[in-house]
Amino acid sequence: MKSSDAKQLLETLQKHLQCCGWTGVEDWGTPIPDSCRCPSSYGKLETAECKSMPEGFTGTSDIYSKSCRHAFVYYVELGFKISLGIIFGFFVIAVIGLIIAINMIHQISHHSSNGQTAFALRAY
């Protein structure tokens, strides 16, 4: 936390991801910033989201319990899962198209190998 740019980026992440510190509250040292403050409504509804401030730290009394690293990794994994689902969907559609094309080629080659006359397609 030596760079002011890193501090500013982490505070922005904390506000949006509802987390405190990259690896935990210890990243900030003794003064905990206000962006780590967990609203009191979270503590009553979901006790896993908030925790009380550790001893020896100054700042707000209730802070977010999860670290920003875990929250960031969760959203990156979610993005990969969504991308993988989309890619897999396109793959399935391509395989179905390939199966249909192979079936059509087989029907055309099977029909012309019987010695029957080929029929003309109707022009609509």
Q: Is 120 helix (H, G, I), strand (E, B) or coil?
A: coil
Distance in angstroms (rounded) separating the CA atoms of residues 10 and 3 = 11
- For residue range 20-75, what is the model confidence (pLDDT) as tens digits? 888 888 888 778 888 888 876 654 444 447 888 777 777 777 888 888 898 889 99
- For residue range 83-109, what is the model confidence (pLDDT) as tens digits? 999 999 999 999 999 999 999 988 887
Enter the pTM of the model: 0.61
Beta-strand (E) ranges in 15-85? 50-52, 62-64
Domain coordinates in residue numbering, the chain? 4-68
